[in-house]
């Protein structure tokens, strides 16, 4: 893939992922949506709800990639510390965001207590990310986009956000499956295809399913003609093993 793709990282602030209580589903959602708008997801990190860990990760990742998307830790409870940590990472005050404050005060009335008031605080200079599920917004500051951890809320925030991100060339995928094929038997041929189409990412993924075992060959890239040609050669490689090659998009 080329330089026409902005890079991205995801930072998950989430004790609940590190404890195994919760199965993360935000990475896959964001990965697919980012690929569709031509942003190349280069790294994911999961860190606990610990200030210095969050601040360090925000600063490392925002320096390394064009955009950083965070999920989690923006609610009203004691373990929701993402917002003040992002302020600290940027070295700016964490303060009332007046329009958000007023909107929450209006909406919540006498229930706009001290805990909820924290959701109207943002790093100075942040712009809110509204969403359809929760009255409390996420926010963007610089190249960092701070979203909720709850999938429904995060997805609604990202829907707002993705219309604002400068699109790159969409990153497409093609896949072909060979049941009964062993990776070791096609590795040399596959390596040759990767060399020939060096601008693509060609991956090989063994699978073990009730319906049978085999290998999925997946090609990713921005050049659709090259993708089709490469996956065609992978298909021939599988067919040469004497089994049917099943074309299809990846397991979406």
Q: How far is the CB of 245 from a second copy (least distance, A)?
A: 16
Contact with a second copy (CB under 8 A) among 183, 241, 243, 246:
183
Distance CA 140, CA 90 (A): 12
- According to CB under 8 A, which one of 96, 107, 111, 236 is a site residue for a second copy? 111
Burial class (CB in 10 A: 0-12, 13-18, 19+), 44: middle
- Least separation in angstroms between residue 160's CB and a second copy is 18
- How many whole angstroms separate alpha carbon 197 and alpha carbon 64? 27
Helix (H/G/I), strand (E/B), else coil: 68: strand
CB of 125 to a second copy, least distance (A): 25
Question: What Å distances lie between residue 130 and 12, 85, 219, 223, 243, CA to CA?
Answer: 20, 20, 35, 34, 51
Binding of a second copy by 31 (CB under 8 A): yes
- Specify the residue, 115 or 244, whose C-beta has the smaller distance to a second copy: 115
Q: Does 198 bind a second copy (CB under 8 A)?
A: no
Which one, 207 or 236, has the nearer CB to a second copy?
207
Question: CB of 192: closest distance to a second copy in angstroms?
Answer: 9
Task: Tell me which stretch binds a second copy (CB under 8 A): 12-20, 83-91, 120-128, 239-247.
Answer: 12-20
Shortest Cβ 193–a second copy spacing (Å): 9
Using an 8 Å Cβ cutoff, are 187 and 238 in contact? Answer: no
- Give exposure, 127-146, as e/b (b: 16+ Cβ within 10 Å): ebbebeebebbbbbbebbbb
Residues of span 141-170 touching a second copy by CB under 8 A: 149-150, 152
Closest alpha carbon to 95 in 126, 127, 122: 122
Instruction: Decide if 49 contacts 108 (C-beta within 8 A).
Output: no
> Binding segment for a second copy among 74-82, 120-128, 223-231, 235-243 (CB under 8 A)?
74-82
Which residue stretch of 72-80, 84-92, 123-131, 240-248 sits at the interface with a second copy (rule: CB under 8 A)?
A: 72-80
């Amino acid at each position: 893939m080329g330089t026409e793709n902005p890079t991205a990282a995801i930072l998950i602030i989430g004790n609940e992922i590190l404890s195994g209580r919760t199965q993360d589903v935000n990475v896959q959602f964001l990965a697919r949506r980012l690929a569709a708008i031509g942003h190349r997801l280069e790294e994911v990190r999961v860190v606990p709800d610990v200030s210095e860990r969050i601040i360090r990760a925000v600063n490392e990742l925002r320096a390394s990639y064009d955009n950083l998307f965070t999920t989690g830790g923006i609610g009203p409870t004691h373990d929701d510390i993402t917002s003040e940590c992002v302020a600290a990472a940027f070295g700016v005050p964490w303060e009332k965001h007046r329009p958000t404050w007023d909107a929450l005060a209006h909406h919540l009335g006498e229930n706009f207590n001290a805990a909820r008031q924290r959701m109207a605080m943002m790093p100075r200079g942040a712009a809110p990310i509204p969403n359809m599920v929760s009255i409390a917004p996420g926010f963007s500051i610089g190249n960092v986009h701070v979203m909720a951890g709850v999938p429904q809320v995060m997805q609604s925030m990202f829907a707002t956000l993705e219309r604002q991100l400068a699109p790159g060339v969409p990153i497409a995928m093609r896949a072909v499956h060979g049941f009964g094929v062993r990776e070791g038997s096609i590795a040399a041929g596959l390596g040759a295809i990767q060399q020939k189409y060096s601008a693509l990412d060609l991956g090989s993924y063994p699978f073990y399913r009730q319906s049978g075992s085999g290998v999925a060959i997946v090609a990713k890239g921005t050049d659709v003609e090259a993708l089709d040609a490469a996956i065609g050669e992978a298909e021939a490689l599988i067919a040469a093993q004497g089994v049917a090659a099943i074309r299809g998009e990846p397991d979406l």
